[in-house]
């Protein structure tokens, strides 16, 4: 049996969260059209008759750090690698030009002594392509796998390659003890990330990276309904107005979408009380 820790690394918005979600077959790491979506390292477990893979999904590496959140994200990503991994999965997006962020990420990967897999994502997209800029990297990796994380193309080949490179051993994690199936994050964190994802999806370009979500209360009542009280924090009143929307239309859409996904994830009826607050300092204490 094969078992070990597999670290996913790549620059922001390269598709790591989509890959992990589709391998696990459930929502594990939130995805949105914006970069910097994943703000924390997520440990998720994949198991089959070949063994156990413990995935660590690092936040994307930022080339230029301008704010406290981005600084902590870089520190988290590098710390995950420094703690030791058995296999490194380095993901690139051939539709984007190689840049400073890519060079920084590659520099971190070069320090890893464990077996490394270069994963070329978005093979379902033909143009634009900058594949020639990444071809030279192949000789630095033990294996190269081309995939489409979104279309789930060649994910079976990637899993087979990971198992091939993992060491022999017994399972390291008892998945029965995890809060969500195969997931080790706290349930409140899971809820807040679902809400934050829906806010990104509905707001898109209207609100820059200026919001976070805090879950204040999660209670299952006698009637079986899960009551959740949460707040979206944003840095300025003008963003607060956009999140709420005219006559509360936007916050209602965000709340309904989040509630439906939470009901699917928990198989329970959910009541979500969602409000919006302005806090210009939230990025200093929420990572």
Which residues sit in the known binding site for GTP? 10-17, 57-61, 121-124
d(CA 130, CA 102): 13
Block residue for tokens 């294996």:
143
> 144 to each of 69, 124, 181, how far by Cα in Å?
32, 17, 30
What residues form the annotated binding site? 10-17, 57-61, 121-124
Could you tell me which of 62, 55, 41, 60 has the C-alpha nearest to residue 7? 55
R_g of the chain computed on alpha carbons: 19
> 262 to each of 20, 153, 223, 227, how far by Cα in Å?
19, 27, 17, 11
The CA-based angle 66-71-76, given to 5 degrees, is 155
């Amino acid at each position: 049996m094969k078992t070990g820790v597999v670290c996913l690394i790549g620059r922001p918005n390269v598709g790591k969260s989509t890959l992990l979600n589709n391998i696990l077959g459930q929502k594990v790491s939130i995805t949105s059209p914006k970069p910097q979506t994943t703000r924390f390292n997520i440990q998720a477990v994949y198991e089959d008759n070949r063994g156990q893979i413990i995935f660590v999904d690092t936040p994307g590496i930022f080339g230029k750090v301008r704010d406290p959140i981005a600084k902590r994200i870089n520190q988290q990503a590098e710390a995950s690698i420094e703690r030791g991994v058995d296999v490194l999965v380095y993901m690139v997006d051939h539709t984007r030009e190689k840049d400073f962020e890519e060079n920084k990420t590659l520099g971190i990967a070069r320090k890893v002594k464990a077996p490394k897999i270069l994963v070329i994502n978005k093979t379902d997209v033909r143009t634009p392509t900058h594949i020639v800029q990444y071809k030279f990297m192949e000789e630095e990796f033990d294996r190269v796998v081309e995939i489409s994380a979104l279309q789930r193309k060649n994910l079976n080949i990637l899993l087979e390659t990971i198992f091939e490179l993992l060491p022999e051993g017994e399972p390291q994690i008892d998945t029965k003890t995890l809060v969500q199936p195969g997931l080790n994050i706290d349930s409140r964190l899971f809820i807040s990330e679902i809400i934050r994802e829906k806010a990104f999806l509905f707001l898109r370009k209207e609100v820059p990276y200026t919001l976070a979500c805090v879950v204040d209360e999660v209670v299952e009542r006698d009637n079986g309904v899960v009551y959740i009280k949460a707040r979206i924090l944003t840095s300025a009143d003008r963003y607060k107005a956009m999140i709420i929307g005219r006559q509360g239309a936007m916050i209602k859409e965000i709340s309904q979408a989040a509630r439906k996904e939470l009901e699917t994830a928990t198989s329970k009826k959910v009541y979500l009380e969602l409000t919006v607050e302005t806090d210009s300092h939230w990025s200093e204490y929420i990572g």
